[in-house]
């Protein structure tokens, strides 16, 4: 696996993590 592909995979993983954590954060604040 080359470096660019690895970075893209990491970015996608972090993006999914952020999107899944948003509802949890909003639930905590309400």
pLDDT digits 0-9 by tens, 1-30? 689 999 999 999 999 999 999 888 888 887
What pLDDT is recorded for position 14? Answer: 96
What is the rounded end-to-end Cα distance, in angstroms, of the chain? 43
pTM to 2 decimal places: 0.59
What pLDDT is recorded for position 17? Answer: 94
What pLDDT is recorded for position 28? Answer: 85
Burial of 1 (0-12, 13-18, 19+ CB in 10 A): exposed
Report phi then psi at 2, rounded to 5. -80, 170
């Amino acid at each position: 696996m080359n470096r660019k592909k690895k970075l893209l995979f990491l970015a996608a993983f972090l993006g999914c993590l952020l999107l899944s954590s948003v509802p949890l954060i909003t639930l905590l604040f309400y």
